[in-house]
Homo-oligomer: A and B are copies of this chain.
């Protein structure tokens, strides 16, 4: 009894797996993929290496799982912005920016797992590269959809390509986190997001505040 009890810590494979993924995210966000060792992840999750390879066939596998979990988390996070499909597209866009800004206020430095893995592994690990591309696309497509919808509903100041603007916004977001990390200036991320907000609004003829006021 006591022996078997001691031996099997949880018997909750899902929880154990999630703990490993969380450990992978923490460590890889901090150190990158290559510098993070399986032993470190095991230590963080409180188990041993033999157990690790029961849940993940390789280090690469947990890396993939960690980015995928991160992508899903991001999708859930942003989903709050467009939970109301009838809301004004620009309002939804603003809510999304606010969510991003909120993300920068956390204690940990504002880093994106997808951006980390993309930068480090894109040229050497095609699977990881494509996974990162997919996660970035999901978010970008949401923005593009918003912009298309806004174009339909509003007058535009000058024509623009929603897809191009969507990718620009994603690039700004990723680049801001990167640059802010070395500068240790989370405030710069907010600054960049606000400039992006103004930019997007400027694409449309009437500013939103005026529109709602009118």
Chain A interfacial positions (CB closer than 8 Å to B): 29-35, 109, 111, 115-116, 118-124, 129-130, 132-133, 136-137, 164-165, 167-168, 170-176, 178-179, 181-184, 188, 191-192, 195-196, 199, 202
- Extra inter-chain contacts (5) besides given A172-B175, A174-B179, CB under 8 Å: A32-B34, A118-B181, A129-B184, A173-B175, A174-B178
Contact call B120/A119, Cβ cutoff below 8 A: yes
Q: Which 8 A-B pairs have the closest CB atoms?
A: A175-B175, A34-B34, A171-B175, A119-B119, A174-B175, A32-B120, A118-B182, A133-B182
Q: Write the nearest CB–CB distance from A208 to chain B, whole angstroms.
A: 16
Residues of B within 8 A of A183 (CB): 133, 136-137
A129: B residues at CB distance < 8 A: 181-182, 184
Interface of A is mostly: helix
Q: Which residues on the B side are within 8 Å of A165 (C-beta)?
A: 195
Given A120-B32, A202-B202, the answer on whether A167 and B188 have CB atoms closer than 8 Å is yes
Closest beta carbon of chain B to A139's beta carbon, Å: 11
Known interface pairs A34-B32, A174-B178, A182-B129; A123-B109 also in contact (CB < 8 Å): yes
A122-B181 CB under 8 A given contacts A175-B174, A176-B171, A199-B199: yes
